[in-house]
């Protein structure tokens, strides 16, 4: 039982004994720096149940805690806040119990618990991954790792959008203008080559529209009648009919794209346990439309289309099958969710990492699955996130103005190189070591900058601002980790910590910060928020740097004190490493 739980029980006992009131909860907060104390009991919420002066109530509870709780040393009351001081022995005992635990804060999965499936990335196969996909991948991967650390079994997945008119546009443009180019003949990654033809389609399509308008058609008619678009629509019909040549072209170009995606995923440091393809799943769900009709969840209109009426839940009517019997996206998503549970019977919930423009879609999807009677539907979560903007403005794939993910990763490494060279921190490194370090710093800067922001917020991403060795940045935290490793290379980690009865205030504050880590991991899992891990790690690093500046580690007054500070530094380093691993960020041993 942690300190807060212990104190909560004794506060409830005190209130029962002295005021004959049974409290359900006790509110705590960190003690403000200007007051003595380690943890604060907030008295004000108790005034709903206890009549009296909050200062007097705090005094009564404080006296009870000093008398009954071995670890409570003293207390003071400021207005409605009871500041409790804890004996140093409590913190030394805690630290000794965890200092050898390299995975402190992580929970092993329970075989009794249902697994969670986390979906992220889910790109289209008509273009390479861009900055928006980067945020999606980093969020999804990090949330999956955090859920694992909190004690859940996790499957990481994606559904690849490999069919539809946008795919046919790239295929048609390559067929018309590609002169049989391949990734091998051009030296381009396959996803980039295919993406170039998506842009080419848009360029040629606009020329045709201009030509038709010049002939007297309206802009709207010209957009519908452009020969290139009509040809793409015809190609889609052929694909759906299984035309041998179209399917062969589709398969060849998609393979190019997958090979390109794999390189980007590797460079970004994300992975998947399994993959789903829209070309396999787009018809799923139709059998459940029939079941929904029989159970009254869905209704058929006069034209034969099938709808789900959600007006009583404050939403609208949603189509789940067209009048010609074909599936819509909602039908497919219903079927895919059900299929995943069939494929992985131990899964009891899913997390969908998708931008906030799809908020309504997932609200409807989850509600329909509940209405269809699936118990696991209550454990579905839409990890909704805001878009990523650049100082230069919005990105558009079809116009070729996106920030390519591969280019961004390279640019981050190059920026890290420029700044590192200016600071002159890398004397004695080989060129290969420098190159690897630049990539680690650049990726760390990118990931941290994106993940430290609450997922729901929109981000203005500034690459140069993200690579700063001061402030709330990835490189600042990485540098602190490397500084600790430098200390540890000169120290003896085999020495035991014994006979410590009194802590330096900076030692105590650092142990208190370490103690919070398991709670932060659980909170980040509950809230699907890597930002909580990122900002906790930054606070830990700030606390360590204050400790480092105020006490001598290797030059401590005696061997016990030195051993404590060395082990404390090592535990901080492990916690930084563990926290950053949940964000998918590596920490270098030297910088």
- What pLDDT, in 10s, does the model give residues 28-46? 999 999 999 999 999 999 9
CA distances from 333 to 77, 156, 268 (A): 56, 17, 27
Residues 6+ apart with CB under 8 A from 24: none
Contact 461, 131 (CB under 8 A): yes
Q: For 3-86, CATH number?
A: 3.30.1360.70
Q: Round to whole Å and give the CA distance between 439 and 442.
A: 5
With tokens 């100082």, the residue in question is: 391
Question: Per the structure block, which two tokens stand in for 320?
Answer: 């789940």
Contact 268, 583 (CB under 8 A): no
Which of 38, 54, 46, 40 has its CA nearest to residue 12? 46
Q: Round to whole Å and give the CA distance between 496 and 414.
A: 44
pLDDT in tens, 310-332: 999 999 999 999 998 888 999 99
Q: Round to whole Å and give the CA distance between 233 and 230.
A: 5
Q: What HEC string does 13-57 produce? A: HHHHHHHCCCCCCCCEECCCCCCCCCEEEECHHHHHCCCCCHHHH
pLDDT of res. 395: 45
Pairing of strands 347-355, 115-119: parallel
∠ Cα 339 342 344 (to 5°): 110
Common-topology check for domains 3-86 and 405-581: no
> Which residues of the chain fall below pLDDT 50?
394-400
Q: Where are the domains of the chain?
A: 3-86, 164-260, 286-326, 405-581
Which of 33, 22, 31, 24 has its CA nearest to residue 77? 31
∠ Cα 560 4 580 (to 5°): 65
Contact 289, 306 (CB under 8 A): yes
Which of 505, 495, 485 has its CA nearest to residue 37? 505
As beta bridge partners, residue 170 has: none
Which of 4, 77, 14 has its CA nearest to residue 50? 14
pLDDT of res. 138: 98
pTM metric for this prediction: 0.93
pLDDT of res. 106: 97
Q: What is the DSSP letter of 313?
A: G
pLDDT in tens, 432-463: 999 999 999 999 999 999 999 999 999 988 87
With tokens 């108790």, the residue in question is: 46
Q: Round to whole Å and give the CA distance between 184 and 587.
A: 35
pLDDT of res. 393: 52
CB-count burial class (<10 Å; 0-12, 13-18, 19+) for 565 = buried
**Burial annotation 56-70 (CB, 10 A radius, 16+ → b, else e):** ebbbbbbebbeeebe
Q: Round to whole Å and give the CA distance between 71 and 570.
A: 26
Q: Round to whole Å and give the CA distance between 173 and 580.
A: 43
pLDDT of res. 401: 56
As beta bridge partners, residue 352 has: 119, 382
pLDDT in tens, 334-343: 999 999 999 9
CA distances from 277 to 122, 141, 164, 195 (A): 9, 19, 12, 19
Assign a CATH topology to domain 405-581.
Isoleucyl-tRNA Synthetase; Domain 1 (1.10.730)
C-alpha torsion angle, residues 40, 45, 51, 55 (rounded to 10): 30
pLDDT of res. 403: 83
pLDDT of res. 398: 47
Q: Round to whole Å and give the CA distance between 258 and 239.
A: 19
pLDDT of res. 425: 67
């Amino acid at each position: 039982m942690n300190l807060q739980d212990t104190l909560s029980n004794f506060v409830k006992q005190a209130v029962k004994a002295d005021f004959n009131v049974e409290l359900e909860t006790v509110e705590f907060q960190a003690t403000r720096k200007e007051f003595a104390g380690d943890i604060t009991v907030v008295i004000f919420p108790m005034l709903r149940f206890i009549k009296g002066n909050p200062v007097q109530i705090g005094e009564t509870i404080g006296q009870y805690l000093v008398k009954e709780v071995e670890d409570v040393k003293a207390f003071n009351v400021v207005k409605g806040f009871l500041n409790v001081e804890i004996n140093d022995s409590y913190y030394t005992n805690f630290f000794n119990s965890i200092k050898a635990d390299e995975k402190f804060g992580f929970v092993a999965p329970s075989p009794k618990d249902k697994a969670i499936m986390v979906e992220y990335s889910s790109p289209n196969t008509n273009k390479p991954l861009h900055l928006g996909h980067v945020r999606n991948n980093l969020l999804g991967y990090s949330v999956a790792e955090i859920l694992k650390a909190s004690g859940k079994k996790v499957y990481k997945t994606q559904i690849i959008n490999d069919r539809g008119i946008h795919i046919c546009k790239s295929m048609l443009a390559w067929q018309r203008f590609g002169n049989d180019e391949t990734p091998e003949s051009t030296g381009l990654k396959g996803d980039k080559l295919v993406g170039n033809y998506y842009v080419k389609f848009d360029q040629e399509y606009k020329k045709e529209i201009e030509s038709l308008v010049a002939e007297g058609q309206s802009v709207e008619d010209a957009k519908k009648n452009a020969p290139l678009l009509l040809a793409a629509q015809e190609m889609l019909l052929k694909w759906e009919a299984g035309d041998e040549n179209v399917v062969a072209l589709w398969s060849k170009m998609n393979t190019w794209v997958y090979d390109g995606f794999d390189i980007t995923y590797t460079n970004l440091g994300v992975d998947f346990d399994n993959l789903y393809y829209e070309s396999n799943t787009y018809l799923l769900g139709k059998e459940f439309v029939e079941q929904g009709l029989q159970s009254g969840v869905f209704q058929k209109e006069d034209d034969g289309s099938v709808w789900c009426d959600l007006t009583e839940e404050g939403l609208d009517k949603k189509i789940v099958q067209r009048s010609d019997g074909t599936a819509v996206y909602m039908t497919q998503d219903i079927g895919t969710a059900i299929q995943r549970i069939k494929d992985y019977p131990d899964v009891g919930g899913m997390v969908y990492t998708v931008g906030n423009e799809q908020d309504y879609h997932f609200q409807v999807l989850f509600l329909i699955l509940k209405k269809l009677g699936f118990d696991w539907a209550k454990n579905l979560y839409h990890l909704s996130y805001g878009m990523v903007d650049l100082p230069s403005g919005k990105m558009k794939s079809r116009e070729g103005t996106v920030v390519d993910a591969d280019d961004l990763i390279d640019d981050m490494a190059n920026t890290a190189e420029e700044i590192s060279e200016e600071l002159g921190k890398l004397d004695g490194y080989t060129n290969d070591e420098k190159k690897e370090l630049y990539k680690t710093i650049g990726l760390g800067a990118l990931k941290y900058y994106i993940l430290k922001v609450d997922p729901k917020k929109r981000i203005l991403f500034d690459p140069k601002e993200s690579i700063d060795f001061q402030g709330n940045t990835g490189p600042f935290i990485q540098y602190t980790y490397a500084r600790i490793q430098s200390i540890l290379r000169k120290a003896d980690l085999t020495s035991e910590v014994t006979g410590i009865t009194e802590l330096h205030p900076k030692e105590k504050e650092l142990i208190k910060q370490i103690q919070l880590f398991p709670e932060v991991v659980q909170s980040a899992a509950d809230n699907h928020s890597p930002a909580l891990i990122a900002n906790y790690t930054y606070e830990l690093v700030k606390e360590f740097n204050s400790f480092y500046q105020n006490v001598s580690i290797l030059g401590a007054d005696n061997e016990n004190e030195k051993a404590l500070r060395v082990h404390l530094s090592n535990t901080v380093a492990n916690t930084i490493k563990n926290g950053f691993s949940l964000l998918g960020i590596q920490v270098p041993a030297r910088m």
